[in-house]
Each structure stands twice: as structure tokens, then as C-alpha cells.
Amino acid sequence: MQNADLIIIGAGPGGYEAAVRAARSGLNTVIIERRAVGGTCLNEGCIPTKCLCRSAEVLEDVRQSACHGIAVGEVSFNLAEAIRRKDEVVGKLSAGIQTLMKTPGITFVQGEARFVDAHTVAAGENTYTAPHVILATGSVTRFLPIEGARSRDVVTSTEMLDLKEVPQRLCVIGGGVIGLEFASIYRSFGSEVTVVEYCKGVLPAFDRDVAKRLRMALKKRGIRIHTAAAVTRIEELSEGGSEVFFEEKGKTGTVQADLVLMAVGRAANMDVPGLDSLDVRKTPRGICVDENMQTSVPGLYAVGDVNGLCQLAHAATFQSYRALNHVLGRKDETPLTLVPAAVFTVPEVAAVGVSEEQLEAEGVTDYKAYKSFYRANGKALAMDAGDDGFVKLLAAPDGRLLGAHILGAHASDLIHEVTAWMRTGAGMDALRTTIHAHPTLSELILSAAEA
């Protein structure tokens, strides 16, 4: 048995970042990963999808180049080359993490972890013990409990990243972040795309105004969207492809597709051998933790998707820092509820803080919404990005920022200015009196504040 100060199970964003910080803080750290380093984010999620998003963006730019006086002739797209580039980017980042795992003080173990007890973990033929253990095992794809959910033509987001050819007809079950990103990507690649979403609108966790405008923008691109539609079954067709059946407003609807993407969310990965033998409180959402990410078992922490608090890679990273700081006895004042989120559709979506719907649900009526529109921004018009975008800021009567919601080009970048304002506690007056460079998209934040 080998002694350590800290054991981390999982080398995704909630694992490897904490391992490096722990080692640099003097802790003898063991990190165990049964698959590839980088977790879902690097290998099956954030990074590879953004590579394909970029390929889709370039393809759209080339198609629209004529209005800039650039004639390119007939445009063709090679999916295999886009996949190759994606693999190359993932490989570079993976190599970087593998190098980090060689940091002095880190013992990296490739294999499946299994609990012997709350502070003893085995992997392969070796056993490790430590007073502190961090679970960072991430999440797995959910499947609807319906007939045909795992049939021939049904794939998950993982398989979508390695397709050999662009499907002529793609049906996406789920209008959340994952579903809409792939819908947007493969529409650019040439697929006929239909989205079927159970809730009343797409992106149900996001601001209603943003979701409605995004839906209109996607429809303009030719993506068919059914909302308030419950998928009931999937049937394989003898001639190839499948038929998806759903109930929408009391009527049965169907869509035929060559490929069906199951994108109905992800579930906490609590499938760790030996975990069930420990007195760890759980819910269907994930492992229960306190404000320091500690479970009901002292010295055992759970961070990232596995605790079900916020299924975002950057949230996992900062949750792991909170757990590590607790281990080290350090004060941590990071507001873990202030987490920006981004959706890489065309156009992009980003948000931080609360939405109007959340305020209404809490009975809060004393707030004000401020808006600005991309169509009035010089840089947006110069970028051909003035059609659908807008910025919405929500503020309390004293000017304190409560939330921000952005639809449009570079929304994923713009949201961080508002996040910083909210982090410091500065209000609308400070924002209004901060000079922004012209012409930039950042002026949209200033324009909203001045509305």
C-alpha cells in the first residue's frame, strides 16, 4: 500500500487542474484515470465540438464571401478533414495534460479506481491510501426510456464527433446545449436537421427572450424545430434510416432521419466500484456535497458533473479548487454560483447570473431590464452579424447587476465583462462611466447600460 496526501479519481477538468495545484502546494498526490486524460470536455465535449463549430463557421464565411467581393466558385466540404483537424487539436491538448501529470509530487495512474474504504483506493494491482479523496468522475450520456432508444441509427454526442459522412437527414432529440450545437454544426455541413424538444422552448435553462430569438435564427437557417414534443419511440426502417415518433399538442408527429442524435442531457457518473459501500448521500442528480464540496463522508469530496450542481467544465475546475483549499485549510471566496455559460450555435448564446424567469419564480419584481441590439453596433454590421443579436442586462434598483444574457457573435467572449462586474459588485453607474473602445462588440454592453 502506498501512502499519499490526496487521491483524485478522474483526470478531467475537475481532476487534473486540482492535482497540479495540490502538488505545487506540497501535497503528495495520486490521480487515477481509467480512460484518456482531459475527461469528457477534452475528448468528447467542449474542445472537439468547438473544433467542428469553427469548421462550420469557416464554411459559412466562405459561402457568404461574395458580398465582400471575394469569388471562390463552388464550395465543397470534406468532413474527414474537419475530423482530422479536430483530432489534431485534441491530441495537442492531451499531450499538454500528460506533461502536467509528470509534475513533481503527482503520481498518475492509468486504470479503474475502486474504493476499498473511504480513504483507500485500489487501481490495478496497487493500493493507495490518503486522508483526502476527490471524486471527479464526470457524467455519462442519458437515454430516453423509450422503445428504440439504442437502435441502429441512434448515436450520442461522442459518435457525432467521428462520423464518416454527413447524414443527409439528422434528427436531434433534445433542444438543449448539446443538441442545438450539433444541429447548428451539421446544418452548416449540409444536413437537413430536425430538432425535437420536450419543453416549451429550446434552451429551457436559458433566458426566454434569448431562446425565442435563437429559435427564429435557427429556423431561418433551415433547421426545423418541434417544441413541447415528447418522443415516444424510434423505429428502424427496412430501407435504411429510422423514424422518430413524438406527441406534439395532442397529435402524433414523425420525422424520418438517416441518423438520430440522442441529446437529452447527461447524468452524474457514480459508477465507481466500492462507492456504494460507503455512507455517501446521493440523489438522482448526483452526490450530495456541502459548500466545500465535501460529501457526507469526512475527507471525501465530489466535484464537477458527479455532484450535479453545474455541468460545466469550468465549474468543475473551480469546485476542485474549493475542495483543495478546504484540504489545505485555505480561505476560498470564489462565488461558485456566479458561473458564465455559453452555447456555440450560430449565433452564439451566453449568460451569467439570473434570468427574468428566475426572478419571477422567486417573486422578485423590483428590477429593470436594459437592452441593446447588434443591428445598431458598427462592428457587428461590419462583421455581417447584425441580424439577430441583442444584449440584455438585469439590474436591481440600486444598479447592482443581477444577470446578463447575450445572443450574437462572440457572445461567449462578451459575457465575461459582465461576469467581472458582478464579481466585484460594481453597478450600472460604474459600467456606464467605463470607456469602451470603438468600434467593438464590447460597446454593446455599454449601450445596454445606457438604454
What does the pLDDT average to over 176-185?
A: 98
Give the single-character DSSP code of 108. E
Beta-carbon contacts of residue 250 (< 8 Å; ≥ 6 apart): none
What's the pLDDT band for 198 if we cut at 50, 70, 90?
A: very high
User: How does 419-443 read in b/e, with b if 16+ C-beta sit within 10 Å?
Assistant: bebbeeeebbeebeeeebeeebbbb
- What is the rounded CA–CA span in Å between residue 438 and residue 313? 33
- What is the rounded CA–CA span in Å between residue 354 and residue 8? 32
Which residue pairs from 446-451 have beta carbons closer than 8 angstroms and sit at least 24 positions apart in sequence? Answer: 447/372, 447/376, 447/377, 447/391, 448/370, 448/371, 448/372, 448/391, 448/392, 448/393, 449/370, 449/393, 451/370, 451/371, 451/372
- What is the rounded CA–CA span in Å between residue 139 and residue 265? 10
Count of C-beta atoms within a 10 Å radius of residue 69: 6
Provide the mean pLDDT of the chain.
97
Tens of pLDDT along 305-353? 999 999 999 999 999 999 999 999 999 999 999 999 999 999 999 999 9
For residue 347, the Cα-to-chain-centroid distance in whole angstroms is: 16
Q: How far is CA 44 from CA 97, 273, 306, in A?
A: 16, 23, 16
pLDDT at 1: 87
What does the pLDDT average to over 22-49?
A: 96
- What is the rounded CA–CA span in Å between residue 400 and residue 431? 10
What does the pLDDT average to over 204-232?
A: 97
Tens of pLDDT along 79-128? 999 999 999 999 999 999 999 999 999 999 999 999 999 999 999 999 99
Question: 3-state DSSP call for residue 79?
Answer: helix
Query: Is 48's pLDDT higher than 90?
Result: yes
Is it true that the peptide bond before 204 is cis, omega within 30 degrees of 0?
Answer: no
Q: Order the strands of the 300-302 sheet from edge to edge.
A: 106-110, 29-33, 6-9, 132-135, 300-302
pLDDT at 267: 97
Is the pTM above the cut of 0.85? Answer: yes
What phi and psi values does residue 260 have, to the nearest 5 degrees? -120, 120
pLDDT at 387: 87
- What is the rounded CA–CA span in Å between residue 260 and residue 420? 40
What's the pLDDT band for 451 if we cut at 50, 70, 90?
A: confident
Q: How far is CA 255 from CA 195, 198, 323, in A?
A: 10, 15, 47
Tens of pLDDT along 65-81? 999 999 988 899 999 99
For residue 256, give the amino acid letter: Q
pLDDT cut 70: percent of the chain above it: 100
Known catalytic residues are: 438
> Closest Cα partner for 364 from 391, 396, 335?
396
> For residue 348, what is its C-alpha cell?
452564439
- What is the rounded CA–CA span in Å between residue 263 and residue 241? 18
> Closest Cα partner for 299 from 98, 129, 181?
129
> Closest Cα partner for 142 from 156, 128, 161?
156
- What is the rounded CA–CA span in Å between residue 438 and residue 391? 17
Count of C-beta atoms within a 10 Å radius of residue 112: 15
Tens of pLDDT along 267-314? 999 999 999 999 999 999 999 999 999 999 999 999 999 999 999 999
> Closest Cα partner for 319 from 138, 161, 149?
138
